[in-house]
């Protein structure tokens, strides 16, 4: 298990805040989270008794909600799953740690697949009768079941408590380049920090970006390692092709050129939200302190965070902000020629024709 960027979830009355810290820390990676999830599912199915299976299914739902929403344990336990989980909007509404909370609920998007699975479980007559309109379970009992599943997977107890699963989700989202304000809103930060000086995103637009990210994460129909989520700032149509400029929530500017036919098929309009993806082999690395003079439309300065060297190719992870990293795949011979090392400053370049656009 590799070290990841440390995420601190500071405590306050109604929300947790995500803060990037320079020190390294450890939490479960996506593969290990999947192992925990499968262990819970196997544990549910192993019981021959319907009443025990229903009890275990309740713990599975609690795990899935923490794992995919990043919610706190007390928020999940306070849910009324029959009212607070919307199978049409594919959203969970957290109303705080107490059922009588008067604050506005926090809407968190979940994938259509997870939404359907939870809906099927809570509407099963044999299970629904045990709910009593809430998921309220003794927190100590929940933690013990988390630790049991961790032991089944061979993981240390300190990595698998509900708080650490929440933290692992935050790290997973950030490493997937989900915009920081969207991560903050998802985990309950009261005032997401919109750092962009070029564009303003309202809360509804951040939710749309989150929905797009979550669905793409769930379906995994693309092999592209680098994803940006942003708003179209300018469209310049030519005779054959169209230039599209977008700005991400973090303030990065991305330029792409697509055919006019693609522009019309996607229905692109100024102010629209979309995802832009760049495959790792299309990313070019260049050393130097000054911005390169080249024809690449998209240029970002960053720090090499991780390097994985192979016999033929080398993978470089470059962090361009605390919340955004890009992956470049270069030949090992080229990486040796450039003398690439972790911690080195580097320029990340890619052409406008290398950017693929996706709309919701």
pLDDT at 219: 61
Instruction: Report how far residue 327's alpha carbon sits from residue 318's, in angstroms, rounded to the nearest whole number.
Output: 6
Tens of pLDDT along the chain (360 residues) come to 333 343 444 433 333 333 343 333 588 988 899 999 999 999 999 988 888 888 899 999 999 999 999 999 999 999 988 889 998 889 999 986 544 445 678 899 898 889 989 888 888 877 776 666 677 789 999 999 999 999 999 999 999 999 999 999 988 888 777 877 888 888 887 555 544 444 567 777 777 777 777 877 766 545 567 888 888 999 999 999 999 999 887 788 999 999 999 999 999 999 888 889 899 999 999 998 888 888 899 999 999 999 999 999 999 999 888 768 899 999 999 989 989 999 999 999 999 999 999 886
pLDDT at 281: 92
pLDDT at 103: 66
Cβ neighbours of residue 312 closer than 8 Å, sequence gap 6 or more: 331, 332
Instruction: Report how far residue 12's alpha carbon sits from residue 32's, in angstroms, rounded to the nearest whole number.
Output: 29
Instruction: Report how far residue 96's alpha carbon sits from residue 100's, in angstroms, rounded to the nearest whole number.
Output: 9
Q: What is the CATH number that goes with domain 280-350?
A: 2.40.50.100
CB 72 within 8 Å of CB 14? no
pLDDT at 3: 34
Query: Token pair of 272, please?
Result: 């629209």
At 217, phi and psi to the nearest 5? Answer: -65, -40
pLDDT at 195: 46
pLDDT at 224: 62
Give domain limits for the chain.
4-175, 280-350
CATH class held by domain 4-175: mainly alpha
Query: Token pair of 258, please?
Result: 């697509």
pLDDT at 163: 94
Residue 154, CA distances (Å) to 28, 35, 44, 136, 147 in order: 12, 10, 19, 28, 10
pLDDT at 99: 44
pLDDT at 198: 40
pLDDT at 20: 42
Other beta carbons within 10 angstroms of residue 243's beta carbon come to: 16
Residue 223, CA distances (Å) to 133, 157, 219, 316 in order: 41, 33, 11, 16
């Amino acid at each position: 298990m590799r070290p990841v960027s440390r995420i601190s979830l500071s405590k306050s009355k109604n929300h947790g805040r995500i803060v990037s810290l320079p020190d390294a820390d450890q939490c479960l990676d996506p593969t290990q989270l999947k192992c925990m999830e499968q262990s819970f599912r196997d544990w549910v199915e192993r019981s021959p008794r319907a009443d025990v299976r229903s009890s275990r299914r309740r713990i599975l739902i609690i795990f899935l909600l923490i794992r995919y929403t990043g919610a706190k344990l007390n928020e999940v336990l306070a849910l009324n799953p029959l009212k607070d989980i919307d199978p049409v909007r594919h959203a969970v509404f957290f109303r705080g740690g107490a059922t009588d909370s008067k604050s506005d609920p926090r809407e968190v998007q979940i994938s259509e697949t997870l939404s359907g699975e939870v809906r099927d479980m809570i509407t099963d007559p044999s299970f629904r009768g045990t709910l009593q309109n809430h998921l309220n379970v003794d927190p100590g009992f929940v933690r013990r079941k988390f630790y049991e599943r961790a032991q089944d997977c061979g993981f240390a107890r300190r990595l698998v408590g509900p708080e650490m699963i929440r933290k692992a989700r935050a790290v997973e989202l950030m490493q997937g380049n989900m915009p920081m304000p969207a991560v903050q809103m998802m985990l309950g930060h009261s005032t997401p920090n919109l750092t962009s000086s070029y564009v303003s995103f309202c809360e509804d637009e951040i939710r749309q970006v989150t929905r797009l990210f979550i669905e793409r994460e769930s379906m995994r129909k693309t092999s592209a390692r680098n994803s940006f989520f942003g708003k179209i700032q300018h469209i310049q149509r030519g005779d054959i092709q169209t230039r599209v400029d977008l700005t991400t929530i973090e303030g990065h500017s991305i330029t792409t050129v697509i055919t006019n036919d693609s522009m019309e098929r996607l229905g692109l309009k100024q102010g629209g939200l979309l995802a832009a993806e760049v495959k790792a082999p299309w990313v070019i690395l260049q050393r130097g302190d000054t911005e390169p003079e080249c024809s690449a439309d998209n240029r970002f300065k960053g720090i090499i965070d991780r390097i994985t060297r192979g016999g033929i190719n080398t993978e470089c992870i470059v962090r361009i902000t605390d919340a955004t990293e890009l992956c470049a795949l270069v030949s090992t011979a080229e990486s040796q020629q450039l003398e690439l090392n972790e911690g080195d400053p580097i320029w990340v370049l890619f052409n406008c024709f290398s950017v693929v656009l996706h709309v919701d």
